[in-house]
Structure 1
Amino acid sequence: MRPSLLAPLLVLSLAAGSCLASPRFDHLYAFGDSYSDNGASDQLTREMLAQQVKDAQRLPGDLYWKGRWSNGPTAVEVLAQELDLALSDFAVGGAKSGHNNYYAWMTPYRDTGVSGQIDAYLTSAKGGKADPQALYFIFISANDFFEYADFAHKEPVADLAASSIDNIRSAVGRLAKAGARHFMVVGSTDLSHGPAVVAGGQAEQARTYQQLLQQQLPGRLVADGKQWGVDITYFDHIAFSDRLRRNAAAEGLSQLDQPCQPTYPQVQTACSRPDAYFYWDEWHPTRKVHALAGKAMAKALGQAQ
C-alpha cells in the first residue's frame, strides 16, 4: 500500500480551524495569484492590449491552457469540483498579497492585488455583504517574494515575510467584517525548489521567506479566527509539496526539478509526458500537481466527495 499524500495534511489544516466538522458551503470564492487564476489575467491583458495600454502584453500566452498558468485546471478549480461548488475566481496572475501586481504596468489600469480583488468582490456582492455560507479561499504570497528577489529589494527578508502575513490576515479580516465565516488559507508554495528560483541563485532567500510564513502564519490565523468568530482552515502547501516529493514515484512523477515547458531564457519544445513533471514552466506546477493539491485541500476540509 503506497503512502497517502492526504492523511497528514488533514491534521495540519485543522490546527488553524475552529472545529472538526465543517459546514456544507453554498459557493466558493477564490482570491490569489497565478496558482489560482482561471483566466482572469488572460481576459484582463487582452483588454489592456485592445486599449493600447503602455507596456501591456498578453499573459500567460499560448504556451498555457485556456488562460491558466499551467497545462490544465488549477488547484482551486479541482477543489471546487471535489466540493461540488460553483466557483467565483478573482485571482489574477502576478498578484501580490496587498495591492497591485508583479507586472508593474498593470498598476495604473487596475489594482489586481488581493486587496483589489476583495474590493471587486464586495462591489459585486449584494449590499456589499459577504455570503456567510460560502467558503473563501485565499492563496497568495509568491509574487511578494518574486518582486523582492528579482528587483533586489534591500529590506530584510523577515520584514517581507511579516508584510505578507499582515496582508493575508488583513484580507481575512476584511472579508470577515463583511460577513464571511468560512475560510481556507493556503500557505506559501515551496518557492525554494522552483526552477527559476534555483537558476537565479535565490533558493536560500526563498527558503527563509517560506519558512517564516510556515512558522508564523498558522498561529496568527488561529488567534484571528477566535477573535473574529470565524472558521479558518490552514493548508500547509510546503508540507504537501515535501510529501509529494518523497512519494513522487507512487504518483507517477519522475521529474521534480526541470520544467516540462521551458520558457526562459528562450522558449523550447514542451516535454512529451507533462504528467510526469512537477513543474509546467519555471514557476508553476503542472495540472497533475494542481489536481493532487486540490484533492488534498478538499480532504483537509473534510468534504471530499
Structure 2
Amino acid sequence: MRLPAALSTALLVLGGAVLGADQGSPTLYVFGDSPSDTGMLQRLTLGLLPPPPYWNGRFSSGPVWSEYLASLLGYKLSSRAIAGATSDNQMFSLGEAFGINLPSTQDQINTFRLTNLLYKTEPSREHDIAVLEVGSNDYLAAMGRLQQGEMSTDEFCSTLVSTVVGQLGQLREMGFQNIMVTNMPAIQLTPMAQGGGRDTARAMVAQYNQLFAERTTAWAAQTPPGSGVFVVGDIGGFVEATLGSTAIAGALGIANTTSPCVAGLDTSSLGALMRSAASLDGDGTCDDPSTHYFFDALHPGERVHRLFGYYSRELIEAARANATYSTSEAGVIALVEKYKLGTPVPKPVRT
C-alpha cells in the first residue's frame, strides 16, 4: 500500500496538533521516529500499524517518553514523529520496506517551517523546546550496504551526523531557542540484533556517538550566548546503563531484559518486523508487559519510556541551572525510587 506523498504531508500537518496542558503553556515540539511516535504511523496507515497489543498507536505498551516529558514540564505536546522515519529520504529511506511514503525528520521540519511562518514572533518560543530524535532507521536503511561493503562506517557516520547537525541549525534558524537532540540508541543490545549484525551495529553505534558528541559540542559552542538551552539526550548511554544493571532493572520491576514481550515477529529487517506486526493476533504476547524491558524486538516497553522521560526532564532542568546530569547506576536508581517508577503505569498523559 503506497500512499501518495501529498496525503503523507497532509497527515503530517494534522499530526502536529497540540495536545495536553493549558493553552497558555509552552510547547514541546518533537521531530523524530518510532520512540516518539504518538500515533502518526497509525493515522498514515489508516489504523493498520501498529495494531493491538501496541498501545494506542504507540510502538510500546504505553505512553512514550516525550509524552511523559511534556507532562512533567507542564508543556503542550506537538509531535510530528513517525515510526520508520529517517533523517533525510534523499540519503536513507525505509519507504520501500514499508510500502508508504514516510516523512523524514527533514520533511517534518520543512512542514513545520511552512505551516509556522511567523514562529519567530511567538512569545512562547523563549520557553518552547524542540526535540530532534532520529538515527536508528538511517542505520537500518543502510545496514545492507554496510554489511556488503558498499558503504563504509566512516561514510555512514559522517553523513548522518552532518545531516543531524544541519537540522539543528535549521531549528535554530526557524526560531527555536531551546533544543534537545538524542544520539544513537544501543541497537546492538536489542533482541532484533540477536539475529545477526550485532558486531557491525556495536562498532557503528560507538563510532557514530563519538562523532556525534564532537560535532554537536562544536555546534553548540558557536551558539550566541543567551540563546537558550541545548541538551543532548544520551539515549545510547541510557540503554547501555539500564540494560547493564540488574539493580536498575530490579528497581523498575523488570525481570526480562533479553526477550521481547511480543514474540513471533520477523526480525530479519525493520520492514519485515512491521509487516509481521500488522498481522498480530495477540497470541504471542507475554502476560505482563511491565516485566519486559523490550515490548517488541526493537522497541522498549512503557516503564523504560517512562524512565527516559523523567531522565530527560532531569537533563533539561540541569541545563537550565548550568549543571549536568549523568546516567550513573546510583543516580538512575535514585530517580526510579524518588518517583516510584517501578509501579504500574499511571499514564499521566492526554491522548
Q: Tell me which residue corresponds to 1:298.
A: 313
Q: Tell me which residue corresponds to 2:262.
A: 261
- Alpha-carbon deviation of 1:150? 4.9
For the residues of structure 2 that align with 1:126 and 1:98, how far apart are their CA atoms?
A: 22
- Alpha-carbon deviation of 1:111? 5.5
Query: Is 1:163 the counterpart of 2:164 in the alignment?
Result: no
CA separation of 1:111 and 1:270: change in aligned 2, threshold 3 A: closer
Q: Tell me which residue corresponds to 1:18.
A: none
Q: Tell me which residue corresponds to 2:21.
A: none
For the residues of structure 2 that align with 1:87 and 1:169, how far apart are their CA atoms?
A: 23
Q: Tell me which residue corresponds to 1:223.
A: 218
Secondary structure of the residue that 2:113 maps to in structure 1? Answer: helix
Out of 38, 59, 62, the residue aligned to residue 72 of structure 1 is: 62
- Alpha-carbon deviation of 1:105? 6.6
Out of 63, 82, 91, the residue aligned to residue 92 of structure 1 is: 82
For the residues of structure 2 that align with 1:197 and 1:81, how far apart are their CA atoms?
A: 33
Query: Is 1:124 the counterpart of 2:120 in the alignment?
Result: no
For the residues of structure 2 that align with 1:204 and 1:85, how far apart are their CA atoms?
A: 40
- Alpha-carbon deviation of 1:270? 0.8
Q: Tell me which residue corresponds to 1:34.
A: 34
Alpha-carbon contact 2:264-2:284 (below 8 Å) kept: no
For the residues of structure 1 that align with 2:162 and 2:249, how far apart are their CA atoms?
A: 34
CA separation of 1:123 and 1:33: change in aligned 2, threshold 3 A: same
For the residues of structure 1 that align with 2:249 and 2:294, how far apart are their CA atoms?
A: 13
CA separation of 1:121 and 1:255: change in aligned 2, threshold 3 A: same
For the residues of structure 1 that align with 2:170 and 2:126, how far apart are their CA atoms?
A: 13
Secondary structure of the residue that 2:156 maps to in structure 1? Answer: helix
TM-score (norm 2): 0.71
For the residues of structure 1 that align with 2:292 and 2:129, how far apart are their CA atoms?
A: 30
Secondary structure of the residue that 2:30 maps to in structure 1? Answer: strand
Query: Is 1:241 the counterpart of 2:239 in the alignment?
Result: yes
- Alpha-carbon deviation of 1:243? 2.0
For the residues of structure 1 that align with 2:135 and 2:167, how far apart are their CA atoms?
A: 12
For the residues of structure 1 that align with 2:32 and 2:169, how far apart are their CA atoms?
A: 16
**Amino acid across the alignment from 1:38:** T
Q: Please identify, of 162-171 and 92-101, the stretch whose mean Cα deviation from structure 2 is larger.
A: 92-101
For the residues of structure 1 that align with 2:316 and 2:263, how far apart are their CA atoms?
A: 35
For the residues of structure 1 that align with 2:301 and 2:237, how far apart are their CA atoms?
A: 18
Query: Is 1:289 the counterpart of 2:304 in the alignment?
Result: yes
Secondary structure of the residue that 1:95 maps to in structure 2? Answer: coil
**Amino acid across the alignment from 1:259:** P
Q: Deviations over 1:92-111 (max 9, x none)?
A: 1000012374132778x755
Alpha-carbon contact 1:111-1:117 (below 8 Å) kept: no
What is the alpha-carbon root mean square deviation over aligned residues?
Answer: 2.4
Q: How does 1:141-152 map to 2 (within 5 A)?
A: 141-150=135-144
Alpha-carbon contact 2:184-2:209 (below 8 Å) kept: yes
Q: Deviations over 1:37-79 (max 9, x none)?
A: 00111111218xxxxxxxxxx3222331111111111111111
- Alpha-carbon deviation of 1:123? 1.6
Secondary structure of the residue that 2:257 maps to in structure 1? Answer: strand
**Amino acid across the alignment from 1:115:** Q
- Alpha-carbon deviation of 1:263? 4.0
Q: Tell me which residue corresponds to 1:207.
A: 202
Q: Tell me which residue corresponds to 1:137.
A: 131
CA separation of 1:132 and 1:115: change in aligned 2, threshold 3 A: farther
- Can you give the 5+ residue segments of structure 1 that lack an aligned partner in the other structure? 1-24, 48-57
Secondary structure of the residue that 2:312 maps to in structure 1? Answer: helix
Out of 252, 273, 286, the residue aligned to residue 271 of structure 1 is: 286
For the residues of structure 1 that align with 2:201 and 2:36, how far apart are their CA atoms?
A: 20
**Amino acid across the alignment from 1:35:** P
Out of 168, 173, 179, the residue aligned to residue 177 of structure 1 is: 173
